[in-house]
């Protein structure tokens, strides 16, 4: 289980990296944290001709605030983000999701941008990007920078809107509106495994009713998806168990989740419904919903 041979460069400027990509097209592969790519190399499931390592380019791992937005370089390590107070303050949903990524030794190498660009349908960060309406900045030598809304970024099974000559250079998460509660939950076979189903949820309450809700699911489609129908139905509703139950049904309507060894399509559907209900409940409580009202009727499990 050893990687095949490849050429390797670790450019010290973004320009140099972009020009390598421009020269080699889809023969080249960007190496960010390597936590997904290197196992694929070792299993000889990926065979790039050239690896372009971004780790030696200065300035790609910064975390900052700009007009209330969280701005991260794509080479920010997941472990770094997890411990960064700024992330906790500006992007609680991202903070909530980070500990679910693999294990500490994975997060200390894995990068935020690498996870997004890899676009594993079960990964956590793509769902966070979707649920928060993040903006993703792609840069190429030929066309410079372009900003993509997360909704346009994830295109399919391990597929993104990035062109072969582009590098995801920056991720921007918008500020959270007042009165918003968030929750990230997943169901995995074991702690740290890729989830069978994951859910990034946020709920904004105004005057006791739901003013806005964002739900992004992993593991139920070839790419992470927003449960738009459920979100629409939630707006204006009261945060009750019945409403959340209904949202779960709507979230999975028309979906045929993939099946694998760990969870069948039917299982993922059922669990997605459960997660929507549970995560909405937690998010609503964090947004200030009343326990009594929320849990009226039969007791909730979680």
Partner 1 sequence: MSDSKSGVFPVAGRFTGSPVRRSEDPRLLTGRGMYVDDIRLPGMLHAAFVRSPMAHAVVLRVDTKAARSAPGVRAVFDGQEMAQLAKAGGGPLGDMGGEGVESPIFTVLATDRVRMMGDPVALVVADSRYLAEDACELIQVEYQELPAVTSAEQALDPRSTPIFANLGSNVLQGPTTERFGDVEAVFASADRVVTASLTQHRHQNVPMEGRGIVASFDPATGELRVNASTQGVHGVREALAAQLDIPLEKVHVRAGDIGGSFGLKFGVSREEVAVAAASLKLGLPVRWIEDRNENLTVSGQAREESFEVEAAITKDGDILGLKVKMVIDAGAYPGVAPMLVGTIRQMIPGPYRMEALSFTATVAITNKASYVAYRGPWASETWVRERLIDLISAELGRDPMQIRLRNVAVRGEPPLRMVTGPSLAGITAQESLQRAAALIDLDSFRERQELARQEGRYLGVGFGTFIEPAPGPRDPDETPSEEEMEQLRMRLELDGTVTVFTSQMPHGQSHQTTLAQVAADHFGIPFSQVKVVVGDTDMVPMGFGTGGSRSATMAGGATLHAARALRAKVLEVAAQLIDTGPETLNIIGGMVAAEKASTRSITLVEVAAAAAAGDRLPPGIDRELEVNFAFDGGAGGWSGGTHCAVVEVDVETGLVRVERYLVVEDCGEMINPAIVEGQVRGGVAQGIGAVLLERSAYGEDGQFLSGSLMDYLLPTATDVPQIEIEHLETVRLDADVNFRGVGEGGMIVAPPTLGNAIADALAPFGVRITEQHLPPARLLELIGTMDA
Partner 2 sequence: MSLSAKGLSTDEIFQVELTVNGERREGAVEARKTLADFLREDLALTGTHLGCEHGVCGACTVLVDGEPARSCLMLAVQARGSAVLTIEGLAQKGELSSLQQSMWDNHSFQCGFCTPGFLMQITALLEQSPNPTEGEVREALSGNICRCTGYQSIVKGVMAAIASSNPKDVS
Residue 53 binding result from partner 1, partner 2, none, given CB thresholds of 5 to 8 Å by partner type: partner 2
Shortest spacing between CB 295 and partner 1, in angstroms: 11
User: Which residue of 266, 291, 293, 296 would you call a contact of partner 1, by CB under 8 A?
Assistant: 266
Q: What is the DSSP string of the chain?
A: --PPP-EEE--SSHHHHHHHHHHHGGGEEEESS-TTHHHHHHTT----SEEEE-TTSTTTT-EEEETTEEEEETT-BHHHHHH-HHHHHH-HHHHHHGGGSS-HHHHTT-BHHHHHHHT-TT-HHHHHHHHTT-EEEEEETTTEEEEEEHHHHEEETTEES--TTEEEEEEEEPPPPTTEEEEEEEE-SSTTSPPSEEEEEEEEEETTEEEEEEEEEESSSSS-EE-HHHHHHHTT----HHHHHHHHHHHHTT------SS--HHHHHHHHHHHHHHHHHHHHHHTT--HHHHT-SSPP--
Three-state SS for 38-55 is HHHHHCCCCCCCEEEECC
44 binds partner 1 (CB under 8 A): yes
Shortest spacing between CB 2 and partner 2, in angstroms: 7
Of the ranges 6-14, 196-204, 239-247, 283-291, which one interacts with partner 2 (CB under 8 A)? Answer: 6-14
Residue 194 binding result from partner 1, partner 2, none, given CB thresholds of 5 to 8 Å by partner type: partner 1
Residue 274 binding result from partner 1, partner 2, none, given CB thresholds of 5 to 8 Å by partner type: partner 1
Estimate to the nearest angstrom the gap between the alpha carbon of 222 and the chain centroid: 14
295 binds partner 1 (CB under 8 A): no
Considering the complex, state which of residue 174 and residue 192 has its C-beta at the smaller distance from partner 2: 192
Residue 24 binding result from partner 2, partner 1, none, given CB thresholds of 5 to 8 Å by partner type: partner 2
263 binds partner 1 (CB under 8 A): yes
User: Which residue of 14, 46, 55, 255 would you call a contact of partner 2, by CB under 8 A?
Assistant: 55
9 binds partner 2 (CB under 8 A): yes
Shortest spacing between CB 257 and partner 2, in angstroms: 24
Per-residue mark of binding to partner 2, 84-123 (x: CB under 8 A): ------------------xxxxx-xx--------------
User: Which residue of 157, 189, 228, 256 would you call a contact of partner 1, by CB under 8 A?
Assistant: 189
Residues at the interface with partner 1 (CB under 8 A): 1-5, 43-44, 187, 189-194, 261-264, 266-267, 270-271, 274, 298-301
């Amino acid at each position: 289980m050893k990687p095949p041979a490849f050429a390797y460069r670790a450019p010290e400027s973004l320009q140099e990296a972009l020009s390598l990509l421009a020269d080699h097209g889809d023969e080249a592969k960007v190496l960010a944290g390597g936590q997904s790519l290197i196992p694929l190399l070792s299993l000889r499931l990926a065979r790039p001709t050239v690896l372009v390592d971004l780790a030696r380019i200065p300035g790609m791992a910064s975390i900052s605030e700009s007009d209330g937005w969280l701005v991260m370089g794509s080479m920010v390590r997941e472990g770094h983000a997890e411990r960064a107070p700024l992330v906790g303050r500006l992007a609680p949903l991202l903070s909530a999701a980070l500990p679910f990524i693999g294990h500490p030794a994975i997060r200390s190498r894995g990068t935020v941008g690498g996870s997004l660009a890899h676009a594993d349908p079960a990964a956590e960060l793509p769902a966070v990007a979707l649920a928060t309406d993040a903006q993703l900045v792609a840069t190429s030598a030929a066309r410079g920078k372009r900003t993509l809304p997360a909704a346009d970024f994830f295109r399919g099974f391990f597929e993104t809107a990035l062109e072969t000559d582009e590098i995801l250079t920056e991720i921007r998460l918008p500020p959270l509106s007042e009165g918003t509660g968030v929750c990230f939950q997943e169901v995995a076979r074991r702690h740290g495994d890729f989830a069978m189903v994951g859910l990034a949820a946020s709920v904004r309450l105004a005057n006791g009713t739901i003013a806005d809700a964002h739900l992004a699911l992993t593991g139920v489609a070839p790419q992470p998806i927003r449960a738009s129908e459920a979100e629409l139905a939630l707006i204006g509703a009261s945060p009750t168990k019945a409403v959340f139950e209904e949202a779960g049904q709507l979230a999975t309507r028309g979906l045929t989740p993939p099946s694998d060894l760990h969870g069948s399509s039917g299982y993922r559907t059922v669990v997605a419904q459960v997660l929507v209900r549970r995560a909405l409940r937690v998010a609503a409580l964090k947004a200030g919903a009343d326990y009594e009202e929320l849990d009226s009727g039969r007791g909730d499990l979680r």
